């Protein structure tokens, strides 16, 4: 399957207002993707409409998704968390809300944080700025994601901002993550030279799209059964 598992909607302040869930799914389908994840900063509030969306006539049986969120740790490390479609999201959202540093958003400076329905209508707007950190370190965030039944992917691992390599100058051997995200094969090769013992069983190359045109073309593939084995790997680690 062709995938892109790091896409920001209009709920992320850095996401373009055209990034409604309807637009995202249709653009992904037009581009030829089979499997996507919307991963807004520190919020799952856009996820509740996704099951309804893929049951519409134009998308039914043509594209699938997994629940996702991009969390920011106390050290300013970005972590992608994925959850299966039978996951109860409200307790996870409550946990995020309880640990997010509360600063009111300034839409004129950061951008709006819109929640959309399947008809491209804005049905809500997040009050608190979502590009803040949680008051939890990377170990606490990873442990909590696993406790909620999710899997942990270290996002844009070598980025100069928000990548774990920049913070730790490596990847801690005792960190219980499930996979990594890199920008390219070359970056992955460079990472392997720097960190030859890294756990690289699952490596993703996503777009981190903030605009519709940035969503991945059908280039990166992963077997669906192999992707599903992430949860079995996660259970074995507990």
pLDDT in tens, 85-99: 999 999 999 999 999
The pLDDT score that the predictor gives to residue 47 is 96
The pLDDT score that the predictor gives to residue 236 is 58
| Residue 231 DSSP class | H
Nearest CA to 104 out of 131, 83, 136, 65 is that of 131
In angstroms, the CA 119 to CA 227 distance is 30
Q: 100-133 pLDDT, tens per residue?
A: 999 999 999 999 999 999 999 999 999 999 999 9
Indicate if the pLDDT at residue 233 is higher than 80: no
Cα–Cα distance between 146 and 79 in angstroms, integer?
12
CA nearest neighbour of 42 among 19, 85, 76, 3? 76
Check whether 235 has a pLDDT greater than 80.
no
The radius of gyration computed from the CA coordinates of the chain, to the nearest angstrom, equals 17
Q: Both tokens of residue 238?
A: 């507990």
Backbone angles phi, psi at 190, to 5 degrees: -65, -40
pLDDT tens-place string over residues 41-60: 999 999 999 999 999 988 99
Averaged pLDDT score across all residues of the chain: 94
pTM: 0.96
């Amino acid at each position: 399957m062709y995938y892109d598992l790091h896409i920001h909607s209009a709920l992320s302040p850095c996401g373009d207002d055209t990034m409604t869930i309807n637009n995202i799914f249709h653009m992904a389908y037009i581009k030829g993707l089979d499997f996507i994840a919307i991963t807004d900063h520190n919020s799952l509030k856009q996820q509740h409409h996704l099951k309804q969306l893929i049951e519409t006539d134009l998308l039914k049986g043509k594209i699938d998704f997994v629940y996702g969120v991009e969390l920011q740790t106390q050290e300013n490390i970005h972590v992608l968390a994925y959850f299966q479609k039978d996951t109860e999201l409200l307790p996870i959202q409550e946990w995020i809300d309880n640990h997010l540093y509360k600063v009111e958003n300034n839409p004129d400076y950061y951008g709006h944080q819109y929640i959309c329905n399947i008809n491209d209508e804005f049905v809500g707007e997040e009050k608190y700025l979502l590009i803040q950190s949680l008051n939890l370190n990377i170990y606490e965030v990873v442990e909590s994601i696993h406790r909620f039944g999710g899997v942990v992917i270290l996002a844009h691992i070598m980025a100069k901002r928000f990548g774990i390599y920049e913070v730790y100058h490596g990847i801690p051997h005792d960190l219980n993550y499930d996979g990594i995200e890199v920008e390219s094969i070359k970056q992955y090769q460079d990472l392997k030279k720097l960190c030859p013992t890294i756990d690289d069983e699952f490596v993703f190359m996503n777009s981190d799209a903030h605009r519709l045109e940035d969503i991945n073309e059908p280039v990166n593939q992963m077997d669906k059964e192999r992707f599903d084995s992430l949860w079995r790997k996660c259970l074995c680690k507990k």
